[in-house]
Chain A
């Protein structure tokens, strides 16, 4: 298995090489994701504490639970995108150590391609889900769009936070896009024989 987030026991690795142009863009996105994840974790904690305080004071707020859940989901998806670039997603690595160096490298390329393929697929699935062209075709009229396509995404409400649900769901296409970018950067790294960044690099930044 690879990818414990604790630096103490991480696999030995080469120092990160100079990233290519794709790696640099991915690095900027990664740092932004780190900031967003930190802020969302603060929001989750803060909202839940707010819940305790307001309920104890007899002034309970009904939207807090739902908002906290959404903040957590955004954190999880953004973290998932970061995991791809930071090589931290948990995987079974029984086989690669048993292979000769050439085959191991070929397998690493294959895995990088599969991850890229998944990220692209998620991007495509988000596209058919949000169907922006279909929406544009009916002049952004949501009722007309729903009636014509049987796609009710823009009509879906949130339960208590008072915004349309499609805004909350936006994290899926967003992360599909960043994951695609990170997966590309990984692929160029694997092909060039470089190691990508790891969590401690990000914490130091």
Chain B
């Protein structure tokens, strides 16, 4: 590829227009245009316009889609070692999550992505830590047993909720409000930002403020798009995108407390719980995933620092 090579890249993501991810994706698009003097542009397709994450990943594999900000969840369905990031209570708060995601150990895991998944990972971002919102009063983990809990569909979180004796139910975001309102699910796994903004507190009595899991995101470039780029363009795009996804982490560091304050304004009962609340489920998860996720020990060490 030569320097005159100009392209309008397409970047897809699932979050709505006002979401932190989308805003940083748009900032990235402006930065690329500026850094290449308008030679390259990036069109952002928010809110699943081009399909859900599985579809977008497939489109990146064929080269139809050039870039995306994608949950590590979707990637971990194809590269299981990324399950390490979902170890329950790996981090205590969003500050520790930032440390783990910004570590060299985390970055080193990106090396096998092109070959395994057909995409190039440039860096990590994140959303807020996960909480549980339930329709009923929850006094112990036993109260959750046998109930249906909405999850983002991927294996590590499914294993956690199965270990807890519940029936994890995958469901797209657009169905969650109704499902919680009419009892299709008894509880949902969600972050504070969306719990507040999408009004999930309307039809729930309890929020377990558990911070039980982090929810990392990856800035990805299609392997085919990457091959066609010059060395110089690769450097520009990967630097700017790594910065944009890292800015998502920065934004959550700033705003997580504010989201919690908003949730506290609703009528929902908030129960702060820790690993002990979930009893054997955490150990059961570790037994499944420690063999599959070789980086887990190193990530734990970073979090414990």
- B-contacting residues of A (Cβ < 8 Å)? 55, 58-62, 65-66, 146-147, 150-152, 155-157, 159-160
Chain A residues closer than 8 Å to B62, beta-carbon distance: 150-151
Q: Is the CB of B170 within 8 A of A55?
A: no
- A-contacting residues of B (Cβ < 8 Å)? 54, 58, 61-63, 77-78, 115-118, 146-148, 153-154, 158, 167-171, 223-224
Q: Is the CB of B146 within 8 A of A60?
A: yes
In the complex, besides A58-B146, A62-B168, A152-B58, 13 extra interface pairs with C-beta distance below 8 angstroms are: A59-B167, A60-B167, A60-B169, A61-B167, A65-B170, A146-B116, A151-B61, A151-B62, A152-B118, A157-B77, A159-B153, A159-B154, A160-B158
Chain B residues closer than 8 Å to A66, beta-carbon distance: 170
Query: What's the Cα separation between A54 and B19 when bound, in Å?
Result: 36
Query: What's the Cα separation between A156 and B153 when bound, in Å?
Result: 14
Inter-chain contact total with CB atoms closer than 8 Å:
51
Chain B residues closer than 8 Å to A159, beta-carbon distance: 77, 153-154, 170
Q: Is the CB of B58 within 8 A of A62?
A: no
Chain A residues closer than 8 Å to B61, beta-carbon distance: 150-152
Partner of A60, one of B148, B153, B171: B148
Chain A residues closer than 8 Å to B167, beta-carbon distance: 55, 59-62
Q: Can you list 8 residue pairs at the A/B interface with Cβ under 8 Å?
A: A55-B148, A58-B147, A62-B148, A65-B169, A151-B62, A156-B78, A159-B153, A160-B170
Q: Is the CB of B58 within 8 A of A150?
A: no
Q: Is the CB of A150 within 8 A of B146?
A: no
CB distance from B302 to the nearest CB of A (A): 29
Closest Cβ neighbor of A66 among chain B residues: B170
A-B CB proximity, top 7 nearest: A60-B167, A58-B146, A159-B153, A60-B148, A62-B167, A152-B61, A150-B118
Query: What's the Cα separation between A150 and B146 when bound, in Å?
Result: 41
Q: Is the CB of A59 within 8 A of B170?
A: no
Chain B residues closer than 8 Å to A151, beta-carbon distance: 61-62
User: Main SS of chain A's interface residues?
Assistant: loop
Query: What's the Cα separation between A123 and B224 when bound, in Å?
Result: 25
Closest Cβ neighbor of B153 among chain A residues: A159
Query: What's the Cα separation between A66 and B63 when bound, in Å?
Result: 28
Query: What's the Cα separation between A79 and B140 when bound, in Å?
Result: 49
Closest Cβ neighbor of B175 among chain A residues: A65
Closest Cβ neighbor of B155 among chain A residues: A157
Query: What's the Cα separation between A60 and B116 when bound, in Å?
Result: 34
Closest Cβ neighbor of A60 among chain B residues: B167
Chain A residues closer than 8 Å to B169, beta-carbon distance: 60, 62, 65
Query: What's the Cα separation between A205 and B249 when bound, in Å?
Result: 64
Interface centre among A60, A147, A156 (most CB of B within 10 A): A60
Query: What's the Cα separation between A151 and B77 when bound, in Å?
Result: 16
Partner of B118, one of A55, A58, A146: A146
Query: What's the Cα separation between A65 and B174 when bound, in Å?
Result: 16
Interface centre among A62, A156, A160 (most CB of B within 10 A): A62
Query: What's the Cα separation between A157 and B153 when bound, in Å?
Result: 11
Partner of A152, one of B117, B154, B224: B117
CB distance from B156 to the nearest CB of A (A): 13
Chain A residues closer than 8 Å to B148, beta-carbon distance: 55, 60, 62
CB distance from B80 to the nearest CB of A (A): 10
Query: What's the Cα separation between A146 and B223 when bound, in Å?
Result: 12
Closest Cβ neighbor of B162 among chain A residues: A62
Query: What's the Cα separation between A151 and B223 when bound, in Å?
Result: 11
- From known contacts A60-B148, A60-B169, A62-B158, infer whether A160 and B58 are also in contact, taking CB-CB under 8 Å: no
Query: What's the Cα separation between A156 and B78 when bound, in Å?
Result: 7
Interface centre among B168, B170, B224 (most CB of A within 10 A): B170
